[in-house]
Amino acid sequence: MRYRTKVAIVYLLGFFVDLINMFIANVAYPAIGRGLGATVSELSWVSNAYILGLTLVIPLSAWLAQRLGGRNVLLLSLSSFLLATLGAGMAHSIEQLIGWRLLQGLGGGLLIPVGQTLTYQLYRSHERAALSAAIMLVGLLAPALSPAMGGVIVDSLSWRWVFFANLPLAFIALLLAAVWLQKEPRTTQPTALDFIGLISGCGALMCTLLGFTMLAENGQMLKGIVLLLCAITLFAGFVRHSLRHPQPLINLRLVKEPLLRSAMMIYQCIPGMFIGVSLIATLWLQTQLNLSATRVGSLMVPWSMASLLAITFTGKQFNRFGPRPMLITGCLLQGLGILALTQVHSTEQYPLLLAAFAVMGFGGSLCSSTAQSCAFLQLADEQLGQASALWNINRQLSFCMGISVLSLLLNTLLETLPPATAYQWCFYLAAASTLIPALLCLRIPNGAILRQLKAQKERR
């Protein structure tokens, strides 16, 4: 087996473990609440604490990889993740569980950016579309399988085994990383840690995540606004400091690279927005149309199948068509799928719901897999660590923003409009938002990218 294949396997396995851990606990919330006597707001922090830890540690990933080496960072990350997972399964109070989940996030947050950097460095530009397709496939399987797996585990054993079930896969990833990964040669002198950048950047991220969380909760709008204003202030200071610092924690100048910037915008408006649409649609279908939870959950089946087709198509055809037509098509399809939701008025139109989710699955995954494929095309290998950190911070924020923006929009509309009309306008506005990235994609130099990919393939 080629060395780069081994590195890719370790990365994809760690990515899978991280995503499984993010989604599998949701189905265990009722059992956790009964077992630990937790309130609904406390249970929400079982997820929020993990996402917070996951996001806060990402800015440190590039510096730690440079200082300790990517292999050592992955071993440290997987070891701490294993310890925190064991602690979460053995927690005796909701406070302990939230604390262990925060530590889980801090450990798991290094798996994706560092593993991604190690893997992408070993693949040339024209080979990265197939690699991105494999990454997106893992990203599809984890949220699709996690709820079903978690439900079986909770019903058969207990909520604690939802966490213990992660241990074998995480241990295998740790073992393979220890055996397969080689120590990277040190090519540059490690830089000093940018403490001001770390404090201001992590402070801005924390206030942003907490602010969006508060906005999505009833009666917490003022706190959410205050936190977001703090986030803006801290972020402004972080940007000013980073642009002046010779070796900043995160190289924000990379955002000037057109493909990376476009891919990040697409993630905010397409996958992030779908997370919000999915949540709003779930509430609408169960509270307004009285659709059962089983039938609502089954809507993810056509979504997953269509997503698989889109990811496979991207992996095979990216080098042929280039990113621009695929991104524009994906944006428009997701918008069309969201618009189809506005035409559903009764449970008798269930086939239309299935079609809507299938169209959203194909369009959204066509966008996200194409964005993943082109984000790092025009970056030098030495920039991949910083770019990967930026990419993964943006990805985490897109999910929080999608949920918060649509939840806030729905709550605002419900104050002045009948429920059916409020949900309909939510979907109209979400569909309209897909036009923003579609228009931005018109500026992507598709011909130049295709020539670059062809030249890379011919030099192989």
pLDDT of residue 425: 93
Whether residue 189 lies inside any domain: the answer is: no
- Residue 138 maps to a domain: no
What pLDDT, on the 0 to 100 scale, is given for residue 186? 62
Per-residue tokens: 261: 């910037």
The residue among 290, 11, 278 whose CA lies nearest residue 143 is 278
| Last residue in a domain, options 214, 230, 248 | 248
The whole-number pLDDT of residue 164 equals 92
Q: What is the pLDDT of residue 294?
A: 64
200, 66: one domain: no
339 in a domain, yes or no? yes
Of the residues 248, 273, 289, which one is the last residue of a structural domain?
Answer: 248
Gap between the terminal Cα atoms of the chain = 19
Which of 213, 232, 248 marks a domain boundary? 248
Mark whether 166 and 208 lie in a shared domain.
no
Residues 267 and 173 in one domain: no
For the stretch 68-82, what's the b/e string if a residue is b when 16 or more beta carbons lie within 10 angstroms of its beta carbon?
ebbbbbbbebbbbbb
Domain identity same for 214 and 172: no
Average confidence (pLDDT) per 10 residues, the chain, 460 residues = 89 86 72 80 74 81 83 92 93 91 88 84 75 76 70 80 90 92 71 83 84 73 87 91 84 86 87 82 80 72 86 86 92 95 88 93 91 83 81 80 80 85 92 90 86 73
SS (H, E, C) the chain: CCHHHHHHHHHHHHHHHHHHHHHHCHHHHHHHHHHHCCCHHHHHHHHHHHHHHHHHCHHHHHHHHHHHCHHHHHHHHHHHHHHHHHHHHCCCCHHHHHHHHHHHHHHHCCHHHHHHHHHHCCCCHHHHHHHHHHHHHHHHHHHHHHHHHHHHHHHHCCCHHHHHCHHHHHHHHHHHHHHHCCCCCCCCCCCCCCHHHHHHHHHHHHHHHHHHHHHCCCCCHHHHHHHHHHHHHHHHHHHHHHHHCCCCCCCHHHHHCHHHHHHHHHHHHCHHHHHHHHHHHHHHHHHCCCCCHHHHHCCHHHHHHHHHHHHHHHHHHHHHHCHHHHHHHHHHHHHHHHHHHCCCCCHHHHHHHHHHHHHHHHHHHHHHHHHHHHCCCCCCHHHHHHHHHHHHHHHHHHHHHHHHHHHHHHHHHHCCCCHHHHHHHHHHHHHHHCHHHHHHHHHCCHHHHHHHHHHHHHCC
Q: Look at residue 104 and tell me if it is in a domain.
A: yes
Q: Is residue 4 one of the residues assigned to a domain?
A: yes
Instruction: Please tell me whether residues 34 and 108 are part of one structural domain.
Output: yes
Structural domain contains residue 299? yes
CATH number at residue 274: 1.20.1250.20
- The answer to whether position 305 is within a domain reads yes
Query: Cα–Cα distance between 3 and 106 in angstroms, integer?
Result: 28
218 and 118 within one domain: no
Question: Looking at the 3D structure of the chain, how many domains does it have?
Answer: 3
Do 243 and 166 lie in one domain? The reply is no
Claim to verify: residue 268 and residue 382 sit in the same structural domain: yes
pLDDT at 143: 67
Q: Tell me: do 264 and 152 sit in the same domain.
A: no
Q: For residue 285, give its domain range.
A: 251-460
Judge if 258 and 354 occupy the same domain.
yes
Task: Examine the domain organization and report whether 99 and 114 are in the same domain.
Answer: yes
Does 206 lie in the same domain as 85? Answer: no
Residue 132 domain-assigned (yes or no)? no
Smallest CA-to-CA distance from 108 within 170, 37, 45 is with 170
Q: What is the pTM of this model?
A: 0.76
